[in-house]
Chains A and B, each alone.
Chain A
Amino acid sequence: MINFNEILQTNEMIDAQHLDIRTITMGISLLDCADADITVACRKIYDKITRRAERLVAVGEEIESEFGIPIVNKRISVTPIALIAGACGETDYTPFAVALDNAAKTVGVNFIGGFSALVHKGFIDADRNLIASIPRALSETERVCASVNVGTTKAGINMDAVRLCGEAVKEAARLTAETGGFACAKLVIFANAVEDNPFMAGAFHGVGEPECVINVGVSGPGVVYHALQAVKGEPFDVVAETIKKTAFRVTRMGQLVAREASARLGAPFGIVDLSLAPTPAIGDSVADILTEMGLSNVGAHGTTAALALLNDAVKKGGVMASSHVGGLSGAFIPVSEDAGMIAAAQSGLLTIEKLEAMTCVCSVGLDMIAVPGDTPAATISAIIADEAAIGMINNKTTAVRIIPAPGRVVGDVVDFGGLLGTAPVMPVSRGESADFIARGGRIPAPLHSLRN
């Protein structure tokens, strides 16, 4: 039998250290839903999602109750809509977003991802329509998340797409000005996007994926933070070992839940995403882990090294605990969703420049960052280009989820509520990038893309 202390330790992790399953995400292929008539296509999409995911929330709650582990979110990712929408003659794809939103509401999931286009090498006509539809689609729906992949290590960076995405971000902010540009919190611009990511807002169901699949995202920054408090002052070898052991335990739990959910929902298990995803709750912060390593605040010199160690140790610990690891797997650094990051950004100790450096070693990128409302579209595009370049050159996923909050200036705070948290408006460089972005074309793939 499992011993006394192990049981109490597990329950303490759940009760006091915010251990949870962050998301069970069902990926659903919509490739068979294309139709020349947009109304028919939307009905097929709604019907398929509500049929496939009918029991998703109920099963999540069953598992939650039986194992006594909170499952915070139940979500859905679908085939990038640009691939489906091209079959109809319309150019405004907002109805597809509405169909997704309605399906999400019917089955009771809080987000549905996949209003997406993959344009890293070039556009099909539907991709351009989709990107142009993003601002309206996100401002007129509640639960739909959009993403665009603008670059890969193999293909380089599509700078025309980078320009369009910067404009889409600005327009999405304008359309939701009264909520601080909330639509932008549901839009991710990727480089090297992964096809099996269970985390929002960037989840979509890739074309190489099966008909229907269950992916699980684990979390647990509070557990890692707590474990590190027991090794104060010890060398980094000990820190790394401690993180690995903790990540192993957390991931084993994710694997167990993924297997159960997959069996009960009759959909194959895809991957466990080993991510440390913070929430705005006190004690559920990635920033706290970095400061526990000996930094006065996140953003201090040494932050990048601390994050690199954390990201690597989480993967090493988790990889043996799951039969299939995938998604983004690493540490997330969303500013508005992490109490430690919010505090550091508010006091000016954490800047966008430092965050950019951190994205070289974490699992994603510039995430949930509010910037002044008058930031030009070209500057947003240039920020996207910088991130995409980091991803392309370093063979990693990078992303930008940035909110140019209308009417807000540096020092203001934008409150998005719930898991999305509060974002202090951070300063951006006042230098001009307009001529750079206006060039368009493609940035060629790097030499190390030629690996065959």
Chain B
Amino acid sequence: MRAIVTVIGKDRVGIIAEVCTLLAARGVNILDISQTVMQEYFTMIMLVDTAACNVPFGELSRDLAASGEDRALSIRVQREDIFEAMHRI
């Protein structure tokens, strides 16, 4: 299953590394990364494959959110289908 990880927060060193480490530890494969810094705010969107994820989706979602909260980042993971549904016919 493909999902989108969105990371938003104040820019600093190591954000990508931290998120990637967390995903790798749970068997989530990163397919694509796109990232920018807008007015000091770091915004990253990742397309990931959760087929080999070793925890349930809900747990992955909670882990990401919790790890983000510790670092004052908003991190969420959502199935790709919701964006497809809203923006593609």
Contact = CB atoms under 8 A, between A and B. Distances in A.
Interface in B53-89: 57-58, 61, 76-88
Interface residues of B, number: 24
A86 to B, nearest CB: 44
A4 B37 CA distance: 13
B15 interface: no
B58 A67 contact: no
Given A2-B80, A11-B76, A65 B61 contact: yes
Contact of B57 (A1, A66, A69): A66
Interface string B21-64: 00000000000101010000001010100000000011001000
A345 interface: no
Nearest to A67: B82
A94 B89 CA distance: 49
A2 B84 contact: yes
A10 B82 contact: yes
Contacts of A62: 58
A7 B85 contact: no
A2 B2 CA distance: 12
A6 interface: yes
Given A7-B4, A66-B57, A66-B58, A253 B85 contact: yes
Contacts of B47: 1
Contacts of B87: 2, 6, 10, 249
A256 interface: yes
Contacts of A6: 83, 86-87
B47 to A, nearest CB: 5
Question: Which of B4, B34, B58, B82 has the most chain A CB atoms inside 10 A of its CB?
Answer: B82
A230 interface: no
B34 A67 contact: no
A44 interface: no
Nearest to A250: B86
Given A4-B36, A65-B61, A252 B76 contact: no
B4 A252 contact: no
Contacts of B36: 4
Given A4-B34, A7-B4, A11-B76, A252 B57 contact: no
Contact of B6 (A7, A67, A69): A7
18 contacts: A1-B32, A4-B34, A6-B83, A6-B86, A7-B4, A7-B83, A10-B82, A11-B76, A65-B58, A66-B79, A67-B78, A68-B61, A68-B77, A68-B82, A252-B86, A253-B82, A253-B85, A255-B85
Interface of B: 4, 6, 32, 34, 36, 43, 45, 47, 57-58, 61, 76-88
